Structure 1
Amino acid sequence: MPANKNAMTRYKILDDLLSCRYHNYSLDDLTEEVNKRLAELYPDTNGVGRRTIEKDLFYLEYEGPFLVEIERYSTPGYNSEKQKSYNKRCLRYTSPSFSIFKKDLSDDEEYLLKEALSLLGQFEGLPNLDALEGLRLGLGVRRNERKIISLTKNPLENSNLLGELFTTISHRQVVELHYHKFSSPHTGLTVNIHPYLLKEYNRRWFLFAAAESDRKLLCFSLDRIDNVVPLPSHKFIDYDGEISEIFDDTLGVTINEESPVYNIVFWVSDISKDYVATKPIHDSQKNISGSEEEKLRKIYPTRSNGRFFSIDCKENYELIRELTSFGKELIVLTPVIIRKKIENRITEMVDNYKSLEMRT
């Protein structure tokens, strides 16, 4: 038995990796993953070598109390740097459901899980995940016929897509994505991606992922995705940073890397000020008050009523659309570049309506 303080931690990590059916791990892959997770748990660790992992596997199979069954198999591998396929020797538990650390739920844990499943079962907008239904049946959780919570639902043609993508993200799996553009619905496109995040915006779901070829961050509307094919032989690369932070200065889902972050100051009428205050346009929204408000009242004397707000956002389609959607109840004051874009959109709207008058 390897006599060091990290041995049991390595067994737990190896147990997770060997029971996974979403990745094909070679001995080198197992060594790399173990070192990666050890570094997260023990930042000062020096890591372990391939020989240590070989000894760990031998102990789990033949020497320790576990006597696990591990199968060796071959699968097509893929080197993304060389863009070359090869024959990859991999390891995993013979039984997909096996784990040396598996234990039964306590009464309290089972009760909490039943309550959570009962609540989730009442959400009309929740996608149908087979695993959720299996847990419900296994724990004897009955369906609640009386709806208590209702979510707005925008049905997808492929109702299982959200569940499939959720699974690929949670298991850090590279996929081959088949999709189409709205402008060319009959032209199929394909790209290998590393999926990171599912985001709901304005009653639609979007997938954020990095292209395997150049690591560029891409956004796909789920209603444009035709099929998802897992690529277990491809090595998943994590997003560099916290993916949700890209929305700290972005409204909606269009990522405009070329735009600076603007401090946008706008006035809202008495009719809409409470609505905007209680339903912020963006998470960065602030209510302007005190001396700063007094200064704005002097600069814009015609805005004697209402309330002033500010947000810090990059310019994109959703930002201009949202600010324009309030009509005369919201006026952007600064910066001029954002105000002009809204003015241009309003002018185009007026011209469109005037063109209708000319036809009648």
Structure 2
Amino acid sequence: MPLNRATLIRISTIDKCLQNHYRRWTINDLIDACTDALAEFEGRSTPVSRRTFQNDLALMRSDRLGYNAPIVVRENKYYEYEDPDYSITHLPLNDEGLDALNSALDILRQLQGFPQLASSIDTISKLNEQISRHTGSSVHAMDMEHVAGYRGAQFIGTIYDAVRKQQTIVIEYQSFKARQAEPLVVYPYLLKEYRNRWFLIAEKSANRVPQVNIFALDRIHSVEFDKKHPFKKCIA
């Protein structure tokens, strides 16, 4: 069964935690780390349950994805890899693991415009390299991760933070009919991808009547946070 994005985020988070040998990880520490990761990348505020966490550990320890992760519990409290050099990114994949990771990586590739995921790019790249070797492909999978030439992609991370934290921003925007860009104070509500283009759904502070506006990211020249105007929540 293919991994969904939430499962991959949790497993990757657990793997990163257990690779950090400068800290001892209790079950609550690992659950909190997984909960924070899901809140950051999926906007989920519901804590990860112990049952879900235990299922993730069982999946990592099993041969279902080819991991056989040597996760042990020390002093009946602290989780760690018995082999300190172990990582799920260091192992060959079985067929089911290959299918699962292909599906999950297809999803994660869509998120790589987010600077918040920079620490995960190396992990994703290594997983892609394993897929490339497993399939005998001569093309490095990591070369496929970058979306080349999309104007406005550099603003995705900043706007994402503004939407999630409900912060007002100033965008320098040039509409299709305008000869030059103009600064607009907006309240960002949602980032939307549609047919390989990104759009910001927001409301201009200058609106006399509450109205949702749509801005194409490839028409935005710059984005800055605005501390002068309090954020206005969407009433729709």
TM-score range normalised by the length of the shorter chain: 0.3 to 0.5
Whose Rg is larger?
A: 1
| TM-score calculated relative to the size of structure 2 | 0.46
Q: Which has the higher contact order (CA 8 A, sep 6+)?
A: 2
Higher helix share: 2
TM-score (norm 1): 0.31
